[in-house]
């Protein structure tokens, strides 16, 4: 077991470096931690991809309707979960990009769902003139 501080080769079962006294067990734990984080970088990339899917379905592909919004919400929520998992990895930039895309994707999806199901009734009830104008505009 090589000491991380001074490079001295110690016995494998040594608890402290015989030259500088650094705790060997501790550096071993850090190694496992870093190894675990390396394995999580895939979540950062997945977060970014899912975030982009989320924002694409709630903006460019909003014509796909309810299915698109549901896809947008699911991928957005997954992207946020993956961002949390990948937060302490070297690919945090991708995780953050995924998080930002996911937040906008979810917001747009909720906004469209709101318009699709509630705004129509609100307009019809309280602003019938605006509703008529919208209907006329949609006829093209």
For Zn ion, the binding residues in 6-65 under the rule CB under 5 A are 6, 8, 17, 19-20, 22
Q: Give the C-alpha distances (Å, rounded to integers) separating 123 from 113, 118, 120.
A: 15, 9, 5
**C-beta closer to Zn ion: residue 28 or 38:** 28
**C-beta closer to Zn ion: residue 22 or 37:** 22
**φ, ψ at 23 (rounded to 5°):** -70, 120
CB of 2 to Zn ion, least distance (A): 9
Longest dimension (CA), the chain: 85
Say if residues 84 and 96 touch (Cβ distance below 8 Å).
Answer: no
CB of 13 to Zn ion, least distance (A): 16
**C-beta closer to Zn ion: residue 3 or 109:** 3
Residue 3 as a binder of Zn ion (CB under 5 A): the answer is yes
- How many whole angstroms separate alpha carbon 99 and alpha carbon 102? 5
For Zn ion, the binding residues in 70-129 under the rule CB under 5 A are none
**φ, ψ at 63 (rounded to 5°):** -70, -15
CB of 17 to Zn ion, least distance (A): 3
Chain positions contacting Zn ion, by CB under 5 A: 3, 5-6, 8, 17, 19-20, 22
């Amino acid at each position: 077991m090589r000491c991380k501080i001074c490079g001295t080769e110690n016995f494998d079962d040594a608890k402290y470096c015989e030259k500088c006294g650094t705790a060997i067990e501790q550096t071993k734990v850090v190694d496992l931690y870093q190894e675990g984080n390396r394995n999580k970088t895939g979540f950062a990339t997945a977060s970014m991809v899912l975030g982009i899917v989320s924002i694409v379905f709630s903006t460019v592909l909003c014509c796909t309707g309810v299915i698109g919004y549901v896809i947008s919400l699911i991928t957005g929520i997954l992207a946020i979960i993956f961002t949390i998992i990948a937060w302490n990895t070297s690919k945090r930039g991708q995780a953050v990009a995924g998080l930002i895309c996911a937040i906008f994707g979810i917001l747009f999806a909720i906004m469209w769902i709101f318009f699709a199901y509630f705004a129509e009734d609100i307009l019809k009830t309280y602003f019938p003139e605006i509703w008529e104008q919208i209907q006329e505009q949609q006829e093209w």
